[in-house]
Structure 1
Amino acid sequence: MPKTFTIALLSILLSIAPIRAAGPRVVVYPAPAGEILPTDYEVRVENLKVDVYGARTLDPPFADKQWDFGGPYSFANFDMAGPVTVRIVSKRSLRNVVIRPQSSGIVPTLEDDHTMTLTLDRPRKLSIEPDGKRGPLLLFANPLETKAPKSNDENVIYYGPGVHRPEKIVVASGQTLYLAGGAVVKAEVLVQGSDIRICGRGILDGSEWEWRKGPVGNLIAIRNSRDVEIDGITLRGSSHWTIVARNSRHVTVRNVKLCNSRVQNDDGINPCNSQDVLITDCFIRSDDDCVAMKGLDFAGANSNVERITVENSILWCDRARIFLLGHESRAAFMRDITLRNLDIIHFTMTPFLFEPGEDMRLENVTVEDIRMVGEGQREFIRLRPVVNQYMRKKVPGFIRNIRFRNITIEGQPGEYLVQIEGADEEHNVRDVTFENISINGQRLTRESERMRIGRHAENVHFHPEP
């Protein structure tokens, strides 16, 4: 083989292969040719360059309306083990930079007005905000990838580094869809079957479709399936609801990063008529609800939404709610739900909106260990059975046994109202507990000006009592 050809081939292979620091402590994945990268930030980890991708906000027909999401933003992924140093150069001044979530305890060191370094002790998901919502950098430090499937495995749908346009991918029982680091796959995914994995460090990209025009209807649609795991990938620019588990069992979404807010109705993760769903260690930025649980039309044996856990995650909603439970309520029960150890770094509408209808029983919900950044919003919590335009059976639902515990809002002054009200004597709200809720340093009590306890609300308790 000619020497010049060998050198050229080696150069090509190095340009697409993951780059590892000695150890290995860090793995970075070069962006593929054809991906247009923004230039707002430069990122290096242990002196290795980390390519920075872009995400859009407010495509037409939503552009130039009353909303302002701060314009396009940037995101970057790398893998790490052990403490690492990250160096960031920004075109924006970093003098007033805020790193969210602040619970991370990450304190930057400024080298100059446009350069800073961070030390990460472990994998983290951070929003680097030189100017609030305007053009932040979302920095995703992942754990080192293990057990990556082989590209020649007959049960693996494999996308290596590069830009791919399959448009629609169907994943069936026993299969794994793998998106390697450095892969940008422009497709929507339909999952149907059991024992299915979607994993890797690549990007699943829906940003080439207009609003609601994707070939599947969701960026990842999980239908009539069980034992499904989504792990490690980044999703960008969904054209409608993003990850939807419908009539499915035992679904895990782990270390998944959602970079949305390109269109309306881009809900982050929607468990619909599903049971045993775990959402853990995720970052969700969306225009619409971050997590919406729904009881849609259903003809199977169990339509309930049950045993749903959202934990250890960072949530950002530009226009709608963080959690919406009950607006589409055509299930008998929505119950045994746990929302815990969460950082809500930006929100707009009522972040906890629980409004069941159609005789659905919303019960046994625990919300605990939540840290929130307030920007002067009017509402914080609303518990109210309702009838709305999404409901077929025009009657309210029921709310039972709801617990809010160890929640703080820190930030700008605001009303942050807590509203509890039943619809009538039958469709009431009952057994609600508030324990250790603090809003800008003030403990929430029954006598707080923020509390609005209306009719048909029974057994509302506060701990500790004054």
Structure 2
Amino acid sequence: MRIKLLLAILGLGLLTACHNNKRTDFDIRDYGAKGDSITDNAEAIQEAIDACNNAGGGRVIVPGDGVYMAGPFTVASYVDLHLEANAKLLANPDEKVYKTSAFRDNKGEGMLWISGKNIEQFSISGKGKIDGNGVAFMGKELEDSYELKPVHVLDPRPHLLTLINGKDIRIKDVVIGNSAYWTVHLLGCNDVVVDGVSILNNLKIRNGDGIDVDHSKNVRISNCFIESGDDCICLKNRREYEELGPCENILVTNCTMTSRSCAIKIGSENMDRISHVVVNNCIIRNSNRGIGIQNRDEGTVENVIFSNILVDCKLFSNVWWGKSEAIYVTAYTRKAGDHKDAGWRFPKGMADYEVGAVTNISFNNIKCESENGVFVGADKKDKIQNLYFDQVDLMICKRTNFEGGIYDKRPCNGTEFVKGKTYGFYLDNASNVTIRNSSVRWGDTRPAYFADTMFSQNVDGLVTFNFK
């Protein structure tokens, strides 16, 4: 009797669990969504998300039976936005539907498409695709980019996914891409996992960053494949959200990246502190710049390790920042200007300031093949301190017809390009630089501007050991 009673209780529990699982799926078709690639399904998707949140959580299903076009909508806590295999969520190509700025009162750098604020336990999962419809927002196609449409006050290009002040965020397995502006923007988030995601942006679209980790902490990015015209993974602290604190405790591992700008970048927007960062076991292919620290504001960068990375770079046109620097560590004061968002680049009420310091940076077991070498530069010697290069091997070889012998300092106050020669290591203004167990080799085609193993000026405490 006891056994029968126990089995009955267990059976009831299993039936209840199955029933609950069924109830917690919210198919967007049940709220009127149509996968015809024409209907704007933003309202139906929003209703499904709100119903899921009001029910205490569950999955909002984007089915794999069509293309679900949508304008802006917001995600919510306790929701798993699940894209079934062969599902596509497509951004509405009509610029007029995007009305909320991605950066508060600064309307010159894009609008929101998919966004969420003050949410927790939110996830995106599945084998489907989220498509930003990026080309629809571009001007004419150029040789290696798209022309950007003129912007006076408002830039209507949508950021694909923006999560603000989120906690316990998980993004797994989906394909995200073709973004017209930044793709995944983690802004003031805590405890984030991005795993197994493919970010496939059009390599000709400018400002098409892959993942921007902004004022966020405890972020793990792993096993991702990222192609983007702009930076693949970028750590920063934007001024528009200065109250959200520093960017810290960031781990990037087992990722493959291609970029027309910089594959892995720290900066250039950094008004706070970026610290405790590890980038390990990554592959960078066919990129402009490989690894970059680009400090241009009063914020600091400290305690960063890059290890076990293959870097493959080549030159691109001046549309893209960088001159094939395999590794790039800089601290220059930002150039004042009259471009569309210049008013948001400087501390309030200040027209001049000193750039923050870059300290305690290690590069271990980095193998590079590029048209340029390592560039280290700053306004003053104390702005870059304690750099360690161990088993950093460079093969410098000519691969394109673009002009070489140039280092790109943009954006900076003063001379934007250093022209003349290409060196294995170019060091200008730094303190305590160690290079050991490293090498520089030159390709068979050696133009006249390929110079020597190292150039050094205004460097205190330079130590080399077993440097070939």
> Normalised by the shorter chain, which TM-score bucket?
0.5 to 0.7
Correspondence 1:30-429 to 2 at 5 A: 155-161=58-64, 162-187=66-91, 188-192=113-117, 193-207=119-133, 209-211=136-138, 217-261=158-202, 263-297=205-239, 302-317=244-259, 319-331=260-272, 333-348=273-288, 350-375=289-314, 378-389=324-335, 391-393=345-347, 394-410=353-369, 414=371, 416-426=372-382, 428-429=383-384
Relative distance call for 1:362 and 1:395 in structure 2 (3 A) is same
Tell me which amino acid in the other structure corresponds to 2:363: F
Cα drift, residue 300 of structure 1: 6.5
How big is each residue's C-alpha offset from its partner over 1:330-380, in whole Å with a ceiling of 9 and x where there is no partner?
Answer: 21x1111111111111101x3222121332110111111001224466422
Cα drift, residue 216 of structure 1: 8.8
Relative distance call for 1:386 and 1:449 in structure 2 (3 A) is closer
Structure 1 runs (4+) deviating above 3 angstroms are 32-35, 211-217, 298-302, 374-378
1:167 and 1:215 in contact (8 A); partners too? no
Whether 2:358 is the aligned partner of 1:432: answer no
How big is each residue's C-alpha offset from its partner over 1:202-239, in whole Å with a ceiling of 9 and x where there is no partner?
Answer: 00011164149998932111111111010011012101
2:290 and 2:312 in contact (8 A); partners too? no
1:88 corresponds in structure 2 to none
Relative distance call for 1:323 and 1:441 in structure 2 (3 A) is closer
- Classify the secondary structure of the residue corresponding to 2:137: coil
1:357 and 1:398 in contact (8 A); partners too? no
How big is each residue's C-alpha offset from its partner over 1:396-451, in whole Å with a ceiling of 9 and x where there is no partner?
Answer: 121100000111124xx63x22122331255x211100010112399xxxxx9411
Tell me which amino acid in the other structure corresponds to 2:356: G
Tell me which amino acid in the other structure corresponds to 1:384: T
Q: How many residues align?
A: 307
Relative distance call for 1:373 and 1:422 in structure 2 (3 A) is closer
1:214 and 1:239 in contact (8 A); partners too? no
Relative distance call for 1:379 and 1:154 in structure 2 (3 A) is closer
424, 432, 445: which is aligned to 1:459? 432
How far apart, CA to CA, are the structure 2 residues paired with 1:322 and 1:173?
Answer: 31
- Classify the secondary structure of the residue corresponding to 1:264: coil
Cα drift, residue 263 of structure 1: 2.0
Cα drift, residue 256 of structure 1: 0.8
Cα drift, residue 280 of structure 1: 0.6
Relative distance call for 1:425 and 1:459 in structure 2 (3 A) is closer
2:359 and 2:386 in contact (8 A); partners too? yes
Relative distance call for 1:210 and 1:216 in structure 2 (3 A) is closer
2:146 corresponds in structure 1 to none
How big is each residue's C-alpha offset from its partner over 1:298-349, in whole Å with a ceiling of 9 and x where there is no partner?
Answer: 56654201111111011011x2111221211121x1111111111111101x
TM-score, structure 2 normalization: 0.61
- Classify the secondary structure of the residue corresponding to 2:331: coil
How far apart, CA to CA, are the structure 1 residues paired with 2:240 and 2:362?
Answer: 29
How far apart, CA to CA, are the structure 1 residues paired with 2:313 and 2:233?
Answer: 19
**Quick check: which has more Rg, 1 or 2?**
2
Q: Which of the pair is proportionally richer in helix? A: 2
- Classify the secondary structure of the residue corresponding to 1:342: strand
Question: What is the aligned-residue identity percentage?
Answer: 22
2:313 and 2:326 in contact (8 A); partners too? no
Tell me which amino acid in the other structure corresponds to 1:397: G
How far apart, CA to CA, are the structure 1 residues paired with 2:226 and 2:434?
Answer: 32
Relative distance call for 1:299 and 1:418 in structure 2 (3 A) is closer
Tell me which amino acid in the other structure corresponds to 1:408: K
Gaps of 5+ in 1: 1-31, 36-148, 443-447
Relative distance call for 1:299 and 1:34 in structure 2 (3 A) is closer
1:327 and 1:388 in contact (8 A); partners too? no
1:353 and 1:383 in contact (8 A); partners too? yes
How far apart, CA to CA, are the structure 2 residues paired with 1:158 and 1:168?
Answer: 17
Gaps of 5+ in 2: 1-33, 38-51, 92-112, 139-148, 316-322, 336-341, 348-352, 398-421, 438-464
Cα drift, residue 297 of structure 1: 2.1
Relative distance call for 1:263 and 1:422 in structure 2 (3 A) is closer
2:373 and 2:396 in contact (8 A); partners too? no
Relative distance call for 1:321 and 1:378 in structure 2 (3 A) is closer
How far apart, CA to CA, are the structure 2 residues paired with 1:329 and 1:375?
Answer: 27
How big is each residue's C-alpha offset from its partner over 1:49-93, in whole Å with a ceiling of 9 and x where there is no partner?
Answer: xxxxxxxxxxxxxxxxxxxxxxxxxxxxxxxxxxxxxxxxxxxxx
How far apart, CA to CA, are the structure 2 residues paired with 1:276 and 1:239?
Answer: 27
1:206 and 1:214 in contact (8 A); partners too? no
Tell me which amino acid in the other structure corresponds to 1:247: G
